Structure 1
Amino acid sequence: MTKTYRVVNRFRFTVFVVLTIVILTTAVNFAFGFNTAASLTKTDYMDVQIVSGDTLWSIAQNYMPSDMDTRKAVYELCQVNDISASELYAGMTIQVPIYH
C-alpha cells in the first residue's frame, strides 16, 4: 500500500520547497568550501639573506614602499616570517613582500 500526499495549501508548500533548496545549497557551499574568499591581489615575496648588522627596521626601510610606515612594515615582516624582531640572525633568509 503506497502512501500518497496531497498539497492542501499551495503557498505553504512552495515556501517549504524554496526554504529547503536554500538550506541545502548553503550546507553544500559550507561543506565543500565554495564560500572561501580569495584575495583580489596576490602578494609576491622576495627572499632576502640576512647579513651581520641587519635589522628588521633597516630591511623594512630598504625593501618596503617609501610611503609605508616603517613600524607597520616591521610588523608585516614579523607576521610573514613568523618571527619577532629579536630572532633575526646572520645567515637567516626571510621573505619580504613585493608591492607593485
Structure 2
Amino acid sequence: MYMNEQLLTNSVVSVQGNRRRGENPNGTKRRMRGLFVVAIVILIASICLSFIGGNSDAFAADTGSHLEQTVEVVKGDTLWGIASKYAGKGRNVRDYMYEVKKVNDLKSNVLQVGQVLVLP
C-alpha cells in the first residue's frame, strides 16, 4: 500500500505525546499505587481481626464465672481432703490442690472454718 515516512513518524510521536509527564512506560506508579492499596486493605483487615479475636480469653473467663463451684470449709476440712474429694477420677490430687490454692490466692495449706473456696 501507500506508505509514507511521515505517517510512521507521526504515529510514533503521537504515542509518545499521549504519555503523561513523569509517567513510566512500565506503569511503575500504577503498580506502586496498587501495592499501597493492598497494604492498606491488609492492615485494616488485621486490625479488625485483632478486635474480633483479641478478647476471646476475656469472654471465656466471663462465661466460666457463672458456673463456679464453691465449697465452704467446715471444722476438720483440709486442703488435701477437699482436693481428693473434688479432683475427679484419674486426676492428680497434688496438682488439683495447687490449682485450688492458685485460684483462691492461698499462700499456705491452712484453711479457716467458714472460708469459701472456689474450685477450678
TM-score normalised according to structure 2 size: 0.59
Aligned residues of 1:78 and 1:84 also touching (Cα < 8 A): yes
CA distance in structure 2 between the aligned counterparts of 1:87 and 1:22, rounded to whole angstroms: 55
Structure 1 stretches (4+) deviating beyond 6 angstroms? none
**Whole-angstrom CA distance in 2 between matches of 1:62 and 1:55:** 11
- Displacement of 1:11 in angstroms is 2.3
* Aligned counterpart for 2:113 among listed residues 85, 90, 96: 90
Q: Distance in 2 between matches of 1:77 and 1:86?
A: 10
Q: Residue 35 of structure 1 aligns to which amino acid in structure 2?
A: G
Equivalent pairs, count:
90
Structure 1 residue ranges without an equivalent (≥5): 1-5
TM-score (norm 1): 0.69
Higher relative contact order (CA 8 A, sep 6+): 1
**Quick one: percent identity of the two aligned structures?**
28
Structure in which a larger fraction of residues adopt helix: 2
Rg larger for: 2
Q: Tell me which residue corresponds to 1:50.
A: 73
